[in-house]
A and B are shown apart, each in its own frame.
Chain A
Amino acid sequence: MTSPLQQKIKITGPSIVTANRTSDGAVIYRTGNGWSARIADAAVVRNADDARALLAEAVADDVGAVGAYIAPVDVIEGKIEPGNLREHIRSEGVTIPLLPVTA
């Protein structure tokens, strides 16, 4: 499998690095010195070199995290928001009620 670090990194705006936690698959975000389950704690990068460096740190932690990749975000008045629907769903959860309606 091609490592994410071997892929061309293209950044068009503020970005973060996200992955799933190995032990339970939960969505996690790379911070300046580890991982957090809150997107608000994510380290934001704005150029390819910084993105590559942050991704390299994330990928190096193969025990703690799975499938790290760079994801777009919007930073609005200092608040980090997911940059697309997929990341919004990963951050906020499914867009539907979890349990079926019962009579």
Chain B
Amino acid sequence: MYAYDEIDRTLVNERVSEFRDQVQRRLSGELTEDEFKSLRLMNGVYLQLHAYMLRVAIPYGTLSSAQLRKLAHVARRYDRGYGHFTTRQNIQYNWIKLAELPDALADLASVGIHGMQTSGNCIRNITTDQWAGVAPGEIQDPRIWAEILRQYSTLHPEFSFLPRKFKIAITASEHDRAAIKIHDIGLRILKNDKGETGFEVLVGGGLGRTPFIAKTIKPFVSHRDILSYVEAILRVYNQYGRRDNIYKARIKILVHELGIEKFAQEVEDEWVQMRDGILALDDAVVADIRSRFTYPDYQRLSDDPDQLNKAKASDPRFAMWLGNSVAPHRVPGYAIVTLSLKPVGAPPGDATAEQMDVIADLADKYSFGEIRVGHEQNLALPNVARKDLPALWRALDKIGVATPNVNLVTDIIACPGLDYCSLANARSIPIAQELTRRFADPELAALIGKLHINISGCINACGHHHVGHIGILGVEKNNEEFYQITIGGRADEKAEMGTLIGPAVPFAEVADVIEDIVEAYLALRTRPDETFVETVKRLGVTPFKERVYATR
């Protein structure tokens, strides 16, 4: 965990006071909605179909148990008893009253959390691998760099009114769990030939109306220079990014239109003027930030404790969960446990206040008080002793967050869709719910293997449908909900956009179509461990298209 200092606390508290005054002036009529809108958006407050929505940042996906309890409190006290974890390591509350928002934000501020950088054309919440700091083989903890970027970017005067929103993600592992290639800037921590640690910098990724995979702009930038290099990119974007057309305002369009070589040259020209200036990071600054991250006092424990082996042998449900939801830890004797927020029939990513409270207690008991939030809309306990796994599983199972479906067909990523969102054209959640029912049998899901389904209710792509192994995009045709299906996308280190298989299908047929695609895959794969995306890569979309449209 990172310990906030007095500057952080003051900043968050001052923002709450400022917003309280703005809300009062809006409610009294002193501020018009046009004047107020940008102010509320700077605090993560949107107006959705039925109510105001509050989006709260969870920087680099790390929460303390006290913070999670406070999120539960806000859900219970100010909302309808639940929250929705998003694809950008945020949580959203769907039913907050404007008049109560300042109190909700004050409660959140008491544990150092807020809605800043969750909306508006600023640098948004910096995201990273939810296994940061505990993943085996990780080069270093990327949260240190996410925190440096957070401190740099929060309320940055030059970059608070960019042409459009700006998202940065960081990974330090070979396997990219942070989806860096679909971000405006993606940072991959690596070592160069000399053994020095630095960053591969990627730029211009993004989904939405015009999707692009990020391109490498510089294969190696040293630690010392990373802030100045990021700033050089932001300056070039701020100067040349389009402000006349919202659909062409993201950096991905600028990179595409200029070409990566020309864009890189512009950045280089900017960078040489400033790289030795105030943004050069000396070792003392980095060490200071690093020192404010506290790590658990791990014990020397067995990786193969008796309690675990006995439970595995005696309880097949536990054994299945262990094989699916528990990952190796960098410290022997410990494990990373993913908590599935995708039970059969439920909205993906939702958690009740009761679940959050119990998870906070379990984090205290079994995970040194720490919880992680992943972009796949699941939670994780990052520091669980392997001997405690049977007891933890029983407790998680009791509250419905131990469905053994992580990375499987029912681990669906979905945006709120037309049930909540004022931008959506079609519903996402009912599609996800129906699919989880169709594939509810854990044996079937295990047979199918790794398969990510991503659903978005509109082209803005909050459900990351372009990079789903199967992507589902809701569109409206003649006042009816239709869905375009893509296959073969992926969001990891081999990120790729999916390919459209054919005409959109109506709401009622989507689950049948997905079943057809999965059945085709099972028949076409050459061996059980050839994953869905590998089969699509090998064969292309044609056999799947033929299967889906043969009878439609």
Contact = CB atoms under 8 A, between A and B. Distances in A.
Interface of A: 1, 20, 22-27, 62-63, 66-67, 84-86, 89-90, 93-96, 98-103
B430 A25 contact: no
Contacts of A90: 49-50
Contacts of B430: 95-96
Given A26-B50, A62-B29, A103 B397 contact: yes
15 contacts: A20-B51, A22-B26, A24-B51, A24-B52, A24-B97, A62-B29, A63-B27, A63-B28, A66-B33, A84-B479, A96-B430, A100-B350, A100-B400, A101-B343, A101-B344
Nearest to A59: B33
A58 to B, nearest CB: 12
Contacts of A1: 34, 37
A93 B50 CA distance: 8
B208 interface: no
B238 interface: no
A25 B399 contact: no
Contacts of A98: 80-82
B346 interface: yes
Contacts of A84: 479
Interface string B1-36: 000000000000000000000000011110011100
A60 to B, nearest CB: 12
B481 A26 contact: no
A96 B352 contact: no
Contact of A100 (B28, B96, B346, B419): B346
B429 A25 contact: no
Contacts of A86: 49, 418
A27 B397 CA distance: 38
B420 A94 contact: yes
B51 A25 contact: yes
B346 A101 contact: yes
Given A24-B97, A85-B479, A95 B52 contact: no
Contacts of A62: 29, 32-33
A36 B86 CA distance: 33
B352 A23 contact: no
Q: Which of A1, A25, A27, A99 has the most CB of B within 10 A?
A: A25
B345 interface: yes
Contacts of B420: 94
B407 interface: no
Interface string B331-358: 0000000000101111100111011000
Contacts of A101: 343-346, 400
Nearest to A100: B346
A95 B417 CA distance: 11
B98 interface: yes
A94 B419 contact: yes
B121 interface: no
Given A24-B51, A26-B50, A89-B49, A100 B98 contact: no
B47 A25 contact: yes
A54 to B, nearest CB: 19
A27 B420 CA distance: 12
A69 B33 CA distance: 15
B329 interface: no
Contacts of B49: 27, 86, 89-90
A99 B47 contact: no
A89 B97 CA distance: 19
Given A22-B27, A66-B33, 5 more contacts: A1-B34, A63-B29, A89-B418, A95-B427, A101-B346
B324 interface: no
A42 to B, nearest CB: 17
B339 to A, nearest CB: 12
Contacts of A66: 33, 47
A1 B341 CA distance: 38
B228 interface: no
A102 B355 CA distance: 9
Interface in B381-427: 397-400, 418-420, 427
Contacts of A96: 347, 419, 429-430, 433
Contacts of A102: 343, 352, 354-355, 399-400
Given A89-B49, A90-B50, A99 B97 contact: no
Contacts of B27: 22-23, 63
B479 A103 contact: no
B350 A25 contact: no
A86 B433 CA distance: 19
Given A66-B33, A100-B400, A102-B352, A27 B50 contact: yes
Contacts of A20: 47, 50-51
A-B residue pairs, 7 tightest by C-beta: A100-B346, A25-B51, A102-B400, A63-B29, A24-B97, A94-B419, A25-B52
B33 A103 contact: no
A89 B48 CA distance: 12
A101 B436 CA distance: 12
A11 B210 CA distance: 32
A72 to B, nearest CB: 9
A66 B52 CA distance: 11
B99 interface: yes
A101 B342 CA distance: 10
Contacts of B52: 24-25
Nearest to B80: A98
A24 B98 contact: yes
Q: Which of A27, A67, A102 has the most CB of B within 10 A?
A: A102
